[in-house]
Every structure is written in structure tokens, then in C-alpha cells.
């Protein structure tokens, strides 16, 4: 299969762009269904046609991608799995086009009723029908398989014969191209605990779906290809950040910027029990580009910081943003310390132990950075409630606290109290490798976010840019690097990324 491509700049519709913010829209099943129905209703013959122009356009795009993947292979062989819905119709019409190009295509009908016109067209073009046992036996000899069993409206899981085939294909390593989504996943869910197909490539239509970009489901989707069918989708309520979005918003100092204009960060983190948290948070803040860092934590951590990071100032003073809570432990004065910081009227990052002592109000200019367990405790719900529906959980946290919330994890979600005319939007940070799932990563991330707040970014973009930058740095430095080493490599990633975004593309740091 074609290897994964490097970072790609996308527009909201899925087109690449070189100079503008390009967050990728994530559409729900309901939004896609409504847009498809409206598009088909406007076609000649209306929605009652057996094969719509929309299906034919989707099939042509699917066939073209498969054809590209087969390039250079003599007498290529493809196995098509077809289910009962329009997803199967897309696969059958794509098979017809591949057959016309000389590809040998065999097909297992996983359901008795499939798209009638698509089946007729494909069989007329030379499609060979096989059964379940033959579909499994064919796996070692085919070039790739097309999964067109279930589409975006399906529930999680697979019937037994298809689940057996999916497990065999995964074991053998047969590359699978999934139509819309790997069968067994649910488009609007992040889970992947039911039997499902594992795809090398997923070709979806109109916009990405949540399962494509949120873990653990995203790991089953492989490389994502979005085909823009001009469906006229509404403004997205969930979006995914792309590297270019970070590049055009990252605070880059100008010739007149001194340390105060770049931003002074106050770090109140660590304790006698957890001094490392203060060191890690300060490391994150410093290497993210703070003009100045003031460390306000315990003496044990302050001594280590003075030796390792001599540019850090120890003790209080003027700041443009603060971080509180990382490694505090059971601090008796936690609530009073947070309330005193709020009186400074600067943006705050409230992390870890500070989340257990939040004031009832006044958090509108704050960024909360919980992981799933901390968010569950904040909302008084189970951890599995958060992991099963992180979108709902992070929105609920915003409603309860009035703050911006960054939910940390394999996929990182950010929601805020508004400011851009949409209080319900949730954004996904750029993903990174699983290597970052280790103790201390959250501390360095909190420090990075505090630097970006001090540099003028809004809480939403401070969260998104910090989480994305940490992830991209880890991706550029694969392996089990500890979080302080990843933080130390952030400047290289910043320079690399910012160099790709022309100055003319830069946005105000206050852009939502």
C-alpha cells in the first residue's frame, strides 16, 4: 500500500490549502444523512432513483483510489465484501469500474439483498461471486480487499462470518480499503471494542467522521481519504486541528518584543512529595518560548530548576499567565491559592490537584487540563462515561465550570465557553504517538499551555496549540523519550513548523 503521507494542509471541505487555517470538519451521521438527502432530492428523478448521481460520484472516487493503489501490479486481484445498504452500492459500482480497467474482482455478498443496480452492473462487467469460506481462502492471493459491508448508519460489531473474515485478514496482513468506515465501527463513536475490520485506507465522503480521527477507533481506519462531494454541510460542531492551524497561530516574537511582551509565566507547581512536577511544568513553559518564567513552587524544586534552567527566576513578580496545581498533592490551602491567583486577573492553567479545589465561579479566563479520571471526578461520573463519550463529557465540564477544558488522552479534546459565537464546538488537537502516554507529560503540557496564554493566545488555542505541539514533537522524535526531553525538542518543531507558514498567513493570537 502507499505509505502514509507527511503532514497535509486541508481546508474545512477536505481540500488542501497552503495559507489559510485548515481545521478539518467532523460531521455526524445525522448531518451527512440530511445533506445527502437534500443533494439527491435535487437530482433529476429525485430520491427514488435506484442509483443516484451522488453514489456514482462516490464510486468513481473509490475506484480511482483503489486503481492508484494497484498501480504497477500485473493482473491485480481485488476481493469485495458487500453489505445490504448504499455503502454496498458504492462498492459494487466501484467494482464495475475496476473490472472495466482489467482488475479481477471477486465478491462475497455478506447479506442476501444488496444494491440491485450496482450488482447488475458489476456482474455484467465480469464480477465473480464467492462465498464466505472462499473469501477467507482468497486472502493470501489478493492484492487488496474492499470493505463495503456496513456504512455510517450501522451499529458497532460484525456478524460472525464477517468477524471471522476480518480477524483472518488482520492476521494475514491483507490491506483493506474501507468504504466510509471500517465495518464494525460506529461513525459517531470513539470506541472500537466490538469486532471490526482493520483498514489500511478509509475512503469517506463529504467530511470526516468522529471514528476516523478519535482514538481508539481511529487506529482501525488507517490512512484517511476524504472525498469532497459538495454536500453543503452545516458549520461543524466538532473539528480537528491540522499542523498549519498551529503554525499560523504560534506566537512568534518580532524585533520590538522583549521578555515582557513575549509573556511572563508564573509556575506554582510541585510539592515536597512531588518536586518533579514543578520541574517538568517549568521545562514545558521555558521550551515553549516564554519570555520569562517565574517559579513559585517549593524550595526543593526551585533549587533543581536553578541548576538546570538558570534563566528561570525564583519568586513572585509580574506575570501575564499562571499555572497552578501540577504535583500539589493534598494542599490544604489549594482553594485559597487559586482564588488569590484569580484576583490577579490573568489567564490561568489549572492542572491536576488544582482541579479538586475549583471555586464555584470566576473561571471564564481559565484553562482546565484534566485526564479522563480527573474529569470523571469533576463531573461525579464514571471514568468509562468519559471515555465512551468524551465530546459530551468535555461539553458538560464547560457548562459546569464556565472554563475552557482540555481533556487529555490518546485523543485530546478542547471546548470553551464561547467567544466565537458557538459555545458547543469541540476541537481535536493534532494527534501524536502513544509514546507520550507516560508520567509527567501532562505537567510539561500544562507549562506549554501557560506560555501560550502569556503570549496572547485564547485559552482554547493555548490548549490546542500546546497539545498539538507536544504531539508533533513526539512524532518527529519517535521512541520512549521522557517528557522533559520531548519538551526540550519543542523549539526545533516550532522552527520547522513556523517556517512552513508564511508571515502573510499569520493570524492574530486572539483568533478563536
Residues belonging to the binding site for AMP are 442
The x, y and z cell numbers of residue 68, run together, are: 492508484
User: Which among 443, 452, 363, 369 is positioned nearest to 400, based on CA atoms?
Assistant: 363
CA dist., res. 467 & res. 411, Å (int): 10
Q: Whole-angstrom Cα distance, residue 442 to residue 353? A: 12
Numbers of helices and strands, H then E, in the chain: 19, 18
User: Starting at the edge strand that comes first in sequence, how are the strands of the sheet with 128-130 ordered?
Assistant: 128-130, 104-109, 77-82, 144-148, 176-179, 201-205, 223-227
Q: Residue 138 in contact with residue 79, Cβ under 8 Å?
A: yes
DSSP E strands in 384-428: the ranges are 404-407, 413-415, 426-428
What whole-number distance in Å separates Cα of residue 172 and Cα of residue 163? Answer: 14
Distance CA 258, CA 263 (A): 9
DSSP strands (E only) in 161-228:
176-179, 201-205, 223-227
Closest by Cα among 54, 92, 93, 95 to 78: 95
- For residues 500 and 136, give the distance between their C-alpha atoms in angstroms, rounded to a whole number: 46
Binding residue numbers for K(+)? 87, 147, 183
- Binding residues for (6S)-NADPHX are 86-90, 151-157, 180, 277, 327, 371, 443
CA distances (Å), origin 151, targets 195, 241, 308: 15, 25, 54
| Angle value at C-alpha 70, between 69 and 75, nearest 5 degrees | 175
| Cβ contacts of 402 within 8 Å, gap of 6 or more | 361, 363, 364, 417
Are 276 and 248 in contact by the 8 Å Cβ rule? The answer is: no
Residues whose CB is less than 8 angstroms from the CB of residue 445 and which lie 6 or more positions away in sequence, other chains included: 284, 369, 408, 466, 467, 470
Annotated binding site: 86-90, 147, 151-157, 180, 183, 277, 327, 371, 442-443
Alpha-helical (H) ranges within 70-178 are 86-100, 116-124, 132-137, 160-172
Amino acid at each position: 500500500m502507499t505509505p502514509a503521507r507527511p503532514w497535509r494542509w486541508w481546508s474545512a471541505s477536505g481540500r488542501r490549502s497552503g495559507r489559510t487555517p485548515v481545521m478539518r470538519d467532523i460531521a455526524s451521521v445525522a448531518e451527512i444523512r440530511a445533506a445527502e438527502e437534500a443533494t439527491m432530492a435535487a437530482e433529476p428523478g429525485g430520491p427514488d432513483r435506484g442509483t443516484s448521481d451522488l453514489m456514482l460520484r462516490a464510486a468513481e472516487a473509490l475506484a480511482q483510489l483503489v486503481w492508484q493503489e494497484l498501480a504497477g501490479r500485473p493482473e491485480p486481484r481485488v476481493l469485495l465484501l458487500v453489505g445490504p445498504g448504499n455503502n454496498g452500492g458504492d462498492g459494487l459500482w466501484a467494482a464495475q469500474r475496476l473490472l472495466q480497467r482489467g482488475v479481477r474482482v471477486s465478491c462475497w455478498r455478506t447479506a442476501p439483498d444488496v444494491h440491485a443496480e450496482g450488482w447488475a452492473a458489476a456482474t455484467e462487467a465480469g464480477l465473480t461471486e464467492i462465498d464466505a469460506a472462499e473469501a477467507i481462502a482468497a486472502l493470501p492471493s489478493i492484492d487488496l480487499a474492499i470493505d463495503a459491508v456496513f456504512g455510517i448508519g450501522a451499529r458497532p460489531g460484525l456478524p460472525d462470518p464477517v468477524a471471522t473474515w476480518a480477524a483472518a485478514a488482520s492476521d494475514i496482513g491483507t490491506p483493506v480499503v474501507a468504504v466510509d468506515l471500517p465495518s464494525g465501527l460506529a461513525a459517531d463513536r470513539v470506541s472500537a471494542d466490538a469486532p471490526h475490520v482493520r483498514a489500511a485506507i478509509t475512503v469517506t465522503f463529504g467530511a470526516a467522521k468522529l471514528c476516523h480521527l478519535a482514538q481508539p477507533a481511529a487506529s482501525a481506519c488507517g490512512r484517511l481519504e476524504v472525498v469532497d462531494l459538495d454536500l453543503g454541510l452545516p458549520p461543524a460542531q466538532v473539528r480537528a486541528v491540522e499542523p498549519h492551524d498551529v503554525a499560523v497561530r504560534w506566537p512568534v516574537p518580532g524585533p520590538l518584543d522583549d521578555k515582557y511582551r513575549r509573556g511572563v509565566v508564573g509556575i506554582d507547581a510541585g510539592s515536597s512529595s512531588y518536586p518533579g512536577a514543578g520541574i517538568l511544568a517549568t521545562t514545558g513553559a521555558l521550551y515553549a518560548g516564554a519570555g520569562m518564567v517565574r517559579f513559585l513552587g517549593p524550595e526543593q524544586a526551585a533549587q533543581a530548576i536553578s541548576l538546570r534552567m538558570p534563566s528561570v527566576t525564583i519568586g513572585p513578580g509580574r506575570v501575564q499567565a499562571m499555572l497552578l496545581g501540577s504535583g500539589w498533592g493534598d494542599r490544604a490551602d489549594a482553594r485559597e491559592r487559586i482564588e488569590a491567583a484569580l484576583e490577579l486577573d490573568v489567564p490561568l492553567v489549572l492542572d491536576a490537584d488544582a482541579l479538586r479545589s475549583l471555586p464555584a465561579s470566576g473561571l471564564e479566563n481559565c484553562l482546565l487540563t484534566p485526564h479522563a479520571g480527573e474529569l470523571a471526578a469533576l463531573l461525579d461520573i464514571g471514568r468509562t462515561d468519559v471515555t465512551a463519550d468524551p465530546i459530551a463529557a468535555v461539553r458538560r465540564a464547560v457548562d459546569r465550570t464556565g472554563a475552557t477544558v482540555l481533556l487529555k488522552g490518546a485523543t485530546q479534546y478542547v471546548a470553551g465557553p464561547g467567544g466565537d459565537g458557538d459555545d458547543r464546538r469541540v476541537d481535536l488537537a493534532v494527534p501524536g504517538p502513544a509514546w507520550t502516554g507516560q508520567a509527567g507529560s501532562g505537567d510539561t503540557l500544562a507549562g506549554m499551555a501557560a506560555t501560550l496564554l502569556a503570549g496572547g493566545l485564547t485559552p482554547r488555542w493555548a490548549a490546542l496549540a500546546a497539545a498539538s505541539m507536544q504531539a508533533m514533537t513526539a512524532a518527529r522524535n519517535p521512541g520512549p523519550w521522557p517528557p522533559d526531553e520531548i519538551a526540550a525538542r519543542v523549539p526545533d518543531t516550532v522552527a520547522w513548523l513556523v517556517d512552513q507558514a508564511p508571515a502573510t498567513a499569520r493570524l492574530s493570537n486572539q483568533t478563536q
